[in-house]
Structure 1
Amino acid sequence: HCHPRLVSAISDQAKQLGHTSTLYVTEPQVEAARRLAEIAPGNLTKSFFSNSGTEAIDTAIMLACIHTGRSEVIALRSAYHGRSTLATNLTGLSSWRPLASALPSIKHTIAPYPYRCRFDADCDRVCADKCAQDLEDVILATTNGQPAAFLAETIQGAGGFIAPPAGYHQRVAEIIRGYGGLLIIDEVQAGFGRTGKWFGIEHWDVVPDIMVMAKGVAGGMPVGATITTAEIAGSWTSKTISTFGGNPICMAAMAETLAVMVEEDVPANAELRGRQLRAGLHALAEEFTWIGDVRGMGLMVAIELVQDRITKEPDAARTAALMEETKSEGLLLGKAGLRDNVLRFGPSLLVTEEEVEDCLHRLRRACSWIDS
């Protein structure tokens, strides 16, 4: 928090130019877009900046529909994509959907869940193929067979930090493109080194058609970004504007944040400290049997709490109690999962070995208090 270079970049820009809309291109906006294109996978080089992940998702869906001339979109169950009418309809968690479904053009397919595999498999390539096959079944059974896009988080965030098995993202990319649709990947939570690579989708060697980002992109400043290829970006010919999107101060913050991330190699740190964190959590799971699962990639880590490891009955009450106790220990975690029985760890990407060890000590004290 408050990295000195980021603070200086914000202060310096505020003294020069505080505001223009996306109607006017500024030097900080160009620099931010350049730095983003340098680390984005494949030929994703054209960006549009907004204020949040929600707006970035809305932009991505509209762009996919414009480019394909189609209107139906498939998303995943247990997904989270934002708080607008469109984004909440794309979301696959009832607790994050304040209104009933309003957009019949949105369908949902099965999401992989290795700890609770519905196919009674070991969540290997066979499971990946079965989950991906459901996408094709949804296209054939619930759409007109001409989807505009398939939207997925690389690793589901609010769903409980769930990473799909090897082969899944490759297979769904083949399926949606086989039907003429685009692959949209939501990297709002998984992006910018958190999983041990710049973007989570890189673990699966897949290049999306459109990619969405926010959160860690600007060190806490409000920035959403939608990036795509020059060809797809060129499909949008109508007028569009974001009054505060691409704000010069936010763009200066984003450019400097990305510069620091590259120089300090945050993916490598996330991988190293993530292994340390997961090892410590596995040790706690040996001591506290109600920790049913430890999972994650890089510094996107979670534990799932259960009443019994055999039945895997979710333990939402213990999860809520543990979350409150960790607050008393000065440790801030996030609650997640379809049944509110997952605790998420998402520390600073520059977290140190000592800080991770301190986190584990505080968590153990909280676990011991819960057990007592």
Structure 2
Amino acid sequence: MKRETTTEPSNADVEAAYDEYVMPIWKSLNVPVERASNCTLEDFEGTEYLDLFSGISVANLGHNDEAVVEAATEQLETFVHGCSYVHPNQPVAELAERLAELTPGDLQKSFFCNSGTEAVEGAIKLARKYTGNQEVVALEMGFHGRTLGSLALTGNHAYKHGMGSTINDVVHAPAPDKYRSPHRDLDDAAFAAAAAADLERTIGTHTSGEIAAVVVEPVMGEGGIIVPPADYLERVAEIARDHGGVLIADEVQTGYGRTGEFWAVDHVDVEPDILTQAKGIANGLPLGAFTASAEIADAFESGDHLSTFGGNPVSCAAALATIDRLEDDVIANARDQGEWLAEHLGVLADEYDVVGDVRGRGLMWGLEIVAPDERGPGPADVPAPAPKRAAAIADYLREEEQIVAGVGGYHKNVVRLQPPLSISREQLERALEGLRAAVDASR
């Protein structure tokens, strides 16, 4: 029986349709969206929300950016689907050339797909083909996707429970999570060396010693906005290459200005061998990519990898407009507003003992929420995670302050602030005021 619909749906109507017709996998922030503009979401009852999550770091320019909509509309009126791997077209060619200019080092050739998960899967296939090795090293608490291959790389049982085995030949090294590390009292250089030694030991004890790749997020998003020290990524690249492999930088969440530079690896002296990207690439239209040097990319032969919808010309046109806008003034705004936000979040952490740690870059920040009187896991002086309190903070923000924020981290106790990079100082001041009220209410 068809469900009756009305011309003016309500929040409840949309949620009911999800319950009845959408598989039970969606993670709701409890804000049904009828329309959105820049940093604002509006539900079906006219309530407006300040968006501090950007659809999980997707709407980096803000929702419905005029230049992106115009570029996509113009391409829609030209042609929608050319299958870029059968019929060469200008949006794909131009975007690939632009990425060769924007990506670090000698990265030159791109493969276009539909999502970050596909980008990671393709990058692993390419690394295996190029090196002739099979084993891949990822990090505990890392996140690289939910299909079987990318899920094998993801270092969190919460995403794997009930799924059985994924692919073989993947091992995980400890994450460079200084807050809960036994090496937390070391300075950054010494901590980087200790974390790199953990990686070297993992390769020595769990692999044949000949690997295809080490896969890392330059800032670990789902893991809890974990920012490794600069020397760590440099050492990881050396270790990967010393063992016959390549370094894959997973910039799906950190790319396109999120950290205040175009790529998160731009903050450090690291040139990855393969770089994966998606989320913010087309400001909401589905698109993913991985980019490699010509030498590595040419390991793929015709038919080794393909995507029917990958490199959709409408999405590629939107991506080109996104890049123009980011380079115009949006990344500079992310850098400036991020510096202001970092300072004020630090003050908030000093004031509240339930905020155990604040970390991030640009406009990608996490507040680790803790139970001050409880301990573990980790060193004896580190408070226990408080996931229920973190959820309560996010609920208060949404319900009382009309502000949308995320919650994540391995222990589900990190409040995630990843607003559109176009956010204003006034909006950040409102966010900080609401966050202070939410933390107060949670104590």
Both structures adopt the same fold (TM-score exceeding 0.5): yes
The residue that corresponds to 1:205 in the other structure is: 269
Deviation of the 1:100 alpha carbon? 3.2
Deviation of the 1:166 alpha carbon? 2.8
Distance (whole Å) between structure 1 residues aligned to residue 185 and residue 437 of structure 2: 36
The residue that corresponds to 2:44 in the other structure is: none
Distance (whole Å) between structure 2 residues aligned to residue 41 and residue 356 of structure 1: 31
Map 1:1-150 → 2, pairs under 5 A:
1-23=63-85, 24-98=87-161, 99-150=163-214
Deviation of the 1:276 alpha carbon? 1.4
Give the aligned length. Answer: 370
The residue that corresponds to 2:235 in the other structure is: 171
The question of whether the paired residues in 2 share the 8 Å contact of 1:114 and 1:122 is answered with no
* 2:381 maps to 1:319: no
Deviation of the 1:334 alpha carbon? 1.2
Deviation of the 1:43 alpha carbon? 0.9
Q: Which runs of 5+ in 1 are unaligned?
A: none
Deviation of the 1:170 alpha carbon? 0.6
Deviation of the 1:127 alpha carbon? 1.4
Counterpart amino acid of 1:182? Answer: V
List per-residue Cα deviations over 1:265-312 (Å, max 9, x = no partner): x33221211111122222222332201111111111110011118431
Between the aligned residues of both structures, percent identity stands at 41
The question of whether the paired residues in 1 share the 8 Å contact of 2:128 and 2:212 is answered with yes
The question of whether the paired residues in 2 share the 8 Å contact of 1:117 and 1:123 is answered with no
Counterpart amino acid of 1:248? Answer: P
The question of whether the paired residues in 2 share the 8 Å contact of 1:123 and 1:165 is answered with no
Secondary structure of residue in 1 paired with 2:385: coil
The question of whether the paired residues in 1 share the 8 Å contact of 2:178 and 2:184 is answered with no
Aligned with 1:260 (options 318, 322, 325): 325
Counterpart amino acid of 2:388? Answer: A
Deviation of the 1:102 alpha carbon? 2.8
Q: Which runs of 5+ in 2 are unaligned?
A: 1-62, 374-380
The question of whether the paired residues in 2 share the 8 Å contact of 1:114 and 1:165 is answered with no
List per-residue Cα deviations over 1:59-113 (Å, max 9, x = no partner): 0000000001111000000000001001111000111224233323000001111
Secondary structure of residue in 1 paired with 2:215: strand
The residue that corresponds to 2:281 in the other structure is: 217
The residue that corresponds to 1:362 in the other structure is: 434
Aligned with 2:340 (options 254, 276, 279): 276
Deviation of the 1:178 alpha carbon? 0.9
The question of whether the paired residues in 1 share the 8 Å contact of 2:151 and 2:166 is answered with no
The residue that corresponds to 1:331 in the other structure is: 403
Secondary structure of residue in 2 paired with 1:278: helix
* 2:308 maps to 1:243: yes
The question of whether the paired residues in 1 share the 8 Å contact of 2:180 and 2:382 is answered with no
Distance (whole Å) between structure 2 residues aligned to residue 160 and residue 256 of structure 1: 30
The change in CA–CA distance for 1:284 and 1:238 in structure 2 (over 3 A counts) is: same
* 2:230 maps to 1:158: no
List per-residue Cα deviations over 1:203-250 (Å, max 9, x = no partner): 121000000000011111111010000111100014032111100110
The question of whether the paired residues in 1 share the 8 Å contact of 2:220 and 2:226 is answered with yes
Secondary structure of residue in 2 paired with 1:307: strand
Counterpart amino acid of 1:27? Answer: Q
Distance (whole Å) between structure 2 residues aligned to residue 102 and residue 361 of structure 1: 44
RMSD value, Cα: 1.4
Which of the pair has more CA radius of gyration? Answer: 2
Distance (whole Å) between structure 2 residues aligned to residue 356 and residue 187 of structure 1: 25
The residue that corresponds to 2:10 in the other structure is: none
The change in CA–CA distance for 1:311 and 1:260 in structure 2 (over 3 A counts) is: closer
List per-residue Cα deviations over 1:2-28 (Å, max 9, x = no partner): 111111111111000111223222101
Distance (whole Å) between structure 1 residues aligned to residue 184 and residue 353 of structure 2: 22
Distance (whole Å) between structure 1 residues aligned to residue 200 and residue 73 of structure 2: 51
Secondary structure of residue in 2 paired with 1:45: strand
List per-residue Cα deviations over 1:251-271 (Å, max 9, x = no partner): 11001111111112x332212
Secondary structure of residue in 2 paired with 1:263: helix
The residue that corresponds to 2:22 in the other structure is: none
Runs of 4+ deviating beyond 4 Å: none
The question of whether the paired residues in 1 share the 8 Å contact of 2:335 and 2:363 is answered with yes
